[in-house]
Amino acid sequence: MLPIRKLAFVVNGQKSGAPELAKTLVRIARAAGVETKETEGFPLADGFLKGWDACCVIGGDGTLLGAAKEAARESVPIIGVNRGSLGFLTTFSAEEAATSLPALLAGDFRLAHRSILDCSTGPGRHDLALNDVLIKAEINSRIVRLEVVADDDLVTEYLCDGLIFATPTGSTAYNLSAGGPLVHPDAEVIAMTPICPHTLSNRSIIFRQGVKLKVYNRTEEGHLLVALDGQRNLTVCEDSPVEITISHLKLPLVQRRDHSHFSIVRTKLKWSGGLVEKRPATG
C-alpha cells in the first residue's frame, strides 16, 4: 500500500486513556514527517476527511461508526484503535497501535472493504449505515406489523417488535443479540432478523447482493422509527416504504497483514471448543 503522509485523528475523549494515547500516536506520526489533525467531535462533518490519506479512530466501535460515513464517502481508510469494550472494528489495541504505527505509516498494511447499507425513508430522507438499519415502532412499547418485499416479490408480513437489517460487519452487533447469524465480512449480503416475532417460524433471512428491499408499515395508527447504526434516526414519510439496498460505497478498514477474522471473533465472543478429557470411571 502507499505510505500515509496525512493522518487525521478522531478521539473519543470520554474513553479512558484515549486522549493520552492520541498524544503518543500524534507524536510518532509527526516524527515520521506525517501531517496530522485532530478532533473529538463525531459523527464527522462532511468534508472533514477530504484530501487525507487515512483516519485513526481512538475509542470504541461507536466512535468508529461516527466516522464511517465520511470515510466511505471520501474513500479514506480507517485505523481503529480500541479504547472501548468489545471492539470488533477497532481491532488495534493501544499497545499494538503504538508499536505498529510506524509500519502502517510506511504502507505495511492491508485494506478490508466493508459493505454499507443505503437507506431511504422518503424523498430527501436518505442515509448510510455500516452496521445495521433498525425499523421499529416510534413508541417503544408497541409492536409493529411490517410487510417486506424483495425485488417486488412479497417475502411475508411480520408482527414483531421490529426488524434488523444488518451488514456482515453488523452481524456481530444487534443482529447477533436478536438471534441472527454471524456473517463473514467478505460476504456482500444483507441479514434480516425479526425481533421477538409472534410467529415462531419467522427466522433470519439472508438476501443477496443487489437486492432491493422495501418495508411497508401495516401497523394501524402506528408510526415507525428508523435507526441507523444506533446513532442516527430517520423519520418515515407517510405512505412511503423504507427502502434498503447495499450501497456502491464501501468503508476501507486498515488491518495488519496477519489479521484473522475468526481469531477476533473467538476472542471477542469468548468462544472455546477445547475437548474436556474424560476421566476413567472408578469403582
Catalogue the active-site residues. 61
- State the helix-helix crossing angle for 94-105 and 18-31, rounded to 10 degrees: 20
Measure the CA–CA gap between 71 and 228, rounded to whole angstroms.
Answer: 16
Please report, as a single letter, which amino acid is at residue 41: G
Q: Where are the alpha helices (DSSP H) in the chain?
A: 18-31, 61-74, 94-105, 174-177, 261-268
Please report, as a single letter, which amino acid is at residue 52: W
3 state SS of 234: strand
Which residues have C-beta within 8 Å of that of residue 275, sequence separation ≥ 6? none
For residue 168, give Cα distances in angstroms to 113, 114, 200, 232. Answer: 11, 8, 24, 20
Query: What DSSP letter does each residue of 114-157 carry, written as one string?
Result: EEEEEEEEETTEEEEESSEEEEEESSTT--EEEEEEETTEEEEE
